[in-house]
Every structure is written in C-alpha cells, then in structure tokens.
Amino acid sequence: MQRKFNGKIINGSIGVLFVLCSFYSSISFARTGLISVYMQALKNDPVIDSARETWLASRETLPQNLAPLYPSLSATSFVKTNESMSKTQGDPRTRFRFRTRGYGLSLSQKVIDFSQFIKVSRAENSVKSSWMTYLNAEQELMFRVAERYIGVLKAQATLKYAIAQKDAAKKQLDLVSKRKILGIAPALPVTNARSFYENSSLSVTVARNALVAAKELLRETTGRYYDSIADLNKRIPLLKPYPRAKSHWLKEAMINNPSILSSYYDVKVAEKTLGINVSGHLPTLTANASYDYTYQNDLSSTDSRFSESWAKGASLNLSIPIFEGGLVNSQVREAKHNYYKAQDTLYANKRDVWKNVKTTYSSLLTDIQKVILDRAVVKAAEDSYRITQRSFELGKESMINVLSTLQNLYTVKGTQAQDRYSYVLNWLRLKQNVGLISYRDLKKLDSWLKS
C-alpha cells in the first residue's frame, strides 16, 4: 500500500513537473517580435541618444541669444571703514575714522545691435536644423532596427537551406559511392558529388558566421542578444506604392525628408552667420542709466557727523567700428565660403535622396514581381520533386535525380525567402527615403510576423 501511495505521489509530481517545464520552455522559446526589438533599441541605441542630447543642447542657444536684447539690471552694495592719523609739530596726534556705506543700481539696454538681432534668427534656424537631425536619426533607427532584424532572418534562412543542401549532397555522395563500389557507376560522378558536398559544407560554415555577424549587428543597436525572433508569415501582403506615380514620391521626398530639411536650415544658419559678420561694420547704440547713494559717518567725532550723497545718470553710447586690422573683412570672407559649402551640401543631399527614391521605388516594384513569380517557381519545384519521388518509388527514376530535384527545391525556396525579405526592406526604405516612415509602419510589419 505504501508503494502504491508513493507511486501516485511520484506520478503526480512528474505530471506537475512536466506541465511546469512545458510552461517555462514556452516562455524561454517565445519568439521576439519587431516592436519589442525596436522599443529595446529606443532605450539603448547610443546614436539616437546622441541626436536627442544634441537637439536639447541646441535649444538652449535661443534663450542665450535673446538674453542680450533684454534690459540688464545690476546692483552693487558696499561698506568700508577708513582710518587715518595726522601729526603737526607741537600738536598731539589726531586720529580720524570714517565709515562709508552705499549702494548703486545700473540699467543697460541695447537699442540698436544688428548682429544680436541676426544671432537670434540664426539660433532659431539652428534649433530647427538640430530638430530635423533628431527626426532623421529617429527614422534611421526605425529602418536600422528593421534592416538588422530582417538581416538576422535572412541569415537564418540562408543557414537553413544551406544545411538542407548539405544533407541532400551527403545523401547523393553516399549513393554514388555505393554504386561505384558495386561497379555500376564510374569514378567521375563520385568526384563531382564529393566536390559538391564539400562546397555545401563550406556554405554552411559561411552561413553560420554570417548569422553570428547579423545577430551582433542587432545587438549593437539594442544592447542585447536574441535567441529567437519571429519570422515572416507564409503569406504577406504585397503593397505597391500609392499613389503609383513616381513623381509624387520624389516630390514628397524633397518636402518631407528630414535630412534635406536639416541641410536647408544649415544653409539658413550659414546665411545668418554671414549677416552677423557683415554687421561688424555697423554701429551699435546702447542706453544706460544709473543711480548711486553714499552715506559717510565720522566715527572720530563726538557729535556723530555724517554726510550723504545721491547721484543719477543716463547716457546713450554710440559705438562705430572703424578699423580692426582687417578682422571683419576676413570673417566675412570665411562666412561666405561656409555659406557656399552649406549650399553645396544641400544640393548633394537632394541629389542623393532623389537617386535613392527612384532606385528604391523601382526595386520595390521589381521585388513584388519576384515574390509573385517565386510562388509559381516554388510550386513547380515542389511538383517536380513530388513527381520524381513517386517515379523513384515505382522504379522509373534514380535516387540521384530525386536528390537533384530536392536540391533545386531548396535553392528556389532560399531565393523566395531572400526576395520576400528584400521586398519588406525596400517597402520600408522607400518610406524612409521620403521621410514618411513611422512607428505605425513597424507595427504593420510586426503584424506580418508569426505570432
């Protein structure tokens, strides 16, 4: 009875343990989706953090340049004691002690300062430029995470089909080797099969290294490794660019691309810097007002004599630069060259974005056609393998032909996987080049992944 009772306890414990192991294994092997990876990157990516801090720092330049245009008010206060002694021949020494205290107020206001007015405008454009740089970094992070996520999937698919090719090559090598031993096959097919097997083994090694490198790239962005990430569903929607006109996407890119907008505001900053240096030839006008009060007490006097004084003043100071050794002229020439440089950078950026949009637009449409064609090619390869396998079972085909059709099936399936990943990346890349990629696009892509 005791054994039976213990057996029930042991069996029950094993059952509970099995359930718990199944539960925790399901948690351990749960596949991470794109949104989880992106949120992790958003917290840990140093590139986006650097862009954010640069933008926050640049915002402070605006109040710093506005401050000199406001009135400047300062106050001073003092207390001091003076002691002196004098002696005249025949007279005793005379000691004098005075305590003086007072305060002063000074008010200054810039009336005309063209350079400071332009500095405020330059700061505004600098803030806008840094904001666009931050937006560009944010959009680049979205695409970079998706690109590296898909990069891991591509490497996994490459490794998967490389291993399948290797297994098929090994079976073919074993088959032709047996036929050679039996004397029904020449040596050449064995040599070819061994060469193909060795190449397949090398492809597996290369694919494994590529997978490690792809995972390392993803870790660089997110700060952590992922054992398993969700792959694309078997069927994904094929979204063509809408509106279909390529000119629409090119126009949108010129308007919305944050990299172009950042370069545009950089040109404005360079233009304002040129204006600041040119204004070095212009006069400045400053208004000043002051008020001072002084109280002096004679401590050496028995009757506590004292004196008070008040002083008020107001002035307008006009400063006209005449000659500074050619400094202003040199600064103007430097600012002109920097302005032309900023313009060239803007034009180069526009051309680069224009080229990328046109290329990506065409690649996206091509990828859609490839994915559609791959479905038919894979189906044909599956049918060919199925027919060859059935013929082999009926004794009408050789195993070598069966393995050849199997290798071809793996090849076309690998091509299909790569074309699907390429389509997804170009779909996102087009939006990123235009400046329209957003978190909703990542959510949409995440919905295409296996749950």
Residue that wins the pLDDT comparison between 175 and 183: 175
Question: Which of 50-54, 224-228, 300-304, 371-375 comes out lowest in average pLDDT?
Answer: 300-304
Does position 67 have pLDDT exceeding 80, yes or no?
yes
Tell me the whole-structure pTM to 2 decimals: 0.80
User: Please, which pLDDT band fits residue 186 given cuts at 50, 70 and 90?
Assistant: low
How would residue 302 be classed by pLDDT, with cut points 50, 70 and 90?
A: low
pLDDT computed for residue 187 by the predictor:
56
Across the range 295-301, mean pLDDT stands at 77
Superfamily of segment(s) 30-70+114-282+324-447: Outer membrane efflux proteins (OEP) (1.20.1600.10)
Count of CB atoms situated within 10 Å of the CB of 74? 10
Domain limits of the chain? 30-70+114-282+324-447, 72-85+93-112+283-320
Q: What kind and span of H or E run contains 380?
A: helix 327-393
Quick: pLDDT tens for 318-331: 999 988 889 999 99
- Give the pLDDT confidence score for residue 182 in this predicted structure: 66
Strands 72-86 and 306-319, by their bridges, are: unpaired
DSSP sequence for 241-301:
PSS--HHHHHHHHHHH-HHHHHHHHHHHHHHHHHHHHHGGGS-EEEEEEEEEEEEEEETT-
Q: Coil, helix or strand for 73?
A: strand
- ∠ Cα 156 374 405 (to 5°): 80
Burial readout 346-382 (b: 16 or more C-beta within 10 A, e: otherwise): beebbeebbebbeebbebbbebbebbeebeebbeebe
Is the predicted pLDDT of residue 185 greater than 70, yes or no? no
Mean predicted confidence (pLDDT) in 168-172: 85
d(CA 308, CA 102): 9
Euclidean distance between CA atoms 409 and 417, whole angstroms: 12
Identify the pLDDT of residue 15: 39
* Residue 186 preceded by cis peptide, ω within 30: no
Flag the least confident range among 11-20, 175-184, 406-415: 11-20
Q: For position 177, what pLDDT does the model report?
A: 81
Tokens 């079976």: give the residue.
171
Distances (CA, A) of 115 to 65, 245, 279, 317: 10, 47, 6, 17
Flag whether pLDDT at 63 surpasses 70: yes
Query: Helix, strand, coil: what percent of the chain each, to 5?
Result: 70, 15, 15
Q: pLDDT over 90 for what percent of the chain?
A: 68
Cα separation, 288 vs 317, whole angstroms: 8
Sign of the C-alpha dihedral, residues 252, 258, 261, 263?
Answer: negative
Select from 153, 132, 154, 142 the least CA-distant residue to 41: 142
Q: According to the model, what pLDDT value does residue 418 have?
A: 95
* Lowest pLDDT segment from 90-94, 156-160, 360-364, 413-417: 90-94
pLDDT (tens digit per residue) in 73-89: 999 999 988 877 766 66
CB 126 within 8 A of CB 58: yes
Write out the H or E segment, with its range, that includes residue 140.
Answer: helix 114-181
The CATH number of 72-85+93-112+283-320, from 1.10.3470, 1.20.1740, 3.30.420, 2.20.200, is 2.20.200
Say if 30-70+114-282+324-447 and 72-85+93-112+283-320 have the same CATH topology. Answer: no
Give whichever of 26-35, 88-97, 191-200, 430-439 has the largest mean pLDDT: 430-439
Q: When comparing pLDDT for 57 and 17, which is higher? A: 57
